Structure 1
Amino acid sequence: MQTIAARLTPVLLLICSNVFMTFAWYGHLKFKDRPLWLVVLASWGVALFEYCLAVPANRFGSGLYSAAQLKAMQEVITLIVFAIFAVTYLGQRVTINQVLGFALISAGAFFVFRAPIP
């Protein structure tokens, strides 16, 4: 039986890695006046930290979760982190259509964690 800490470690690492990756992918949108090459380099620098968290998350998690479960978990975490980022950092609203779309994607993740259908 796995400990709670062992089950949570990959989740927490994926949350942290997604925060970095969200900033790497979308943080530059507040700096549209900067040259593209500069924001690409800055994004690569931020993404390096994301990889330093995502790779261990998947390595540690692979002993407890299947690759499909890790991917599904990562996608749901990405949606949650992105929604919070869009509101708090970019100042954008989350619309009902976005909530419904994210919920449908999350429903897909739910089925990945279920036992196979006979």
Structure 2
Amino acid sequence: MSLPPAVLQSRWFPIVLLVFSNVFMTIAWYGHLKHKGSALWKVIIVSWGIAFFEYVLQVPANRYGNSVYSAPQLKIIQEVITLCVFCVFAMLYLGDRIRWNYVAAFICVLAAVAFAVVPKN
């Protein structure tokens, strides 16, 4: 992939890739929960196929992101994105409600991101 250096060194580019990566990941990991009648081996194969696209986005997100974030910062940011994507998926696709204790836990994770990206000085 040949993108302009300004894009590759942007603080937002890896975040955008991580968001799309997490959409694929969430579908691969949890999409089958509405299809419990499907054979497990079929679900595994379909999930692997979907997860391929997660990796196609996740690996570049981490590679390019490491030019502006440390590896721990990337991981913590990715976890917040995962929770955001999953909450939307759980409500819209699975019909789950997001309870107050989930929100409280999410706020704790957001605090972790804040601590992780605070400047070193």
Shared fold, TM over 0.5: yes
Q: State the alpha-carbon separation in 2 of the partners of residues 52 and 19 from structure 1.
A: 12
| Match status 1:97 vs 2:101 | yes
Q: State the alpha-carbon separation in 1 of the partners of residues 114 and 50 from structure 2.
A: 30
Q: State the alpha-carbon separation in 2 of the partners of residues 93 and 17 from structure 1.
A: 24
Given residue 72 of structure 1, which amino acid in structure 2 is its aligned partner?
I
Given residue 25 of structure 1, which amino acid in structure 2 is its aligned partner?
W
Q: State the alpha-carbon separation in 1 of the partners of residues 119 and 14 from structure 2.
A: 21
Moved over 3 A (4+): 2-5
Q: CA deviation at 1:115?
A: 3.3
Q: State the alpha-carbon separation in 2 of the partners of residues 110 and 3 from structure 1.
A: 25
Q: CA deviation at 1:3?
A: 5.3
Scaled by the length of structure 2, the TM-score of the pair is 0.90
2:87 to 83, 89, 92: 83
Given residue 80 of structure 1, which amino acid in structure 2 is its aligned partner?
C
Scaled by the length of structure 1, the TM-score of the pair is 0.92
Partner of 2:57: 53
State the aligned residue count.
116
Q: State the alpha-carbon separation in 1 of the partners of residues 13 and 89 from structure 2.
A: 22
Structure 1: runs of 5 or more not aligned: none
Q: CA RMSD in A?
A: 1.7
% identical aligned pairs = 52
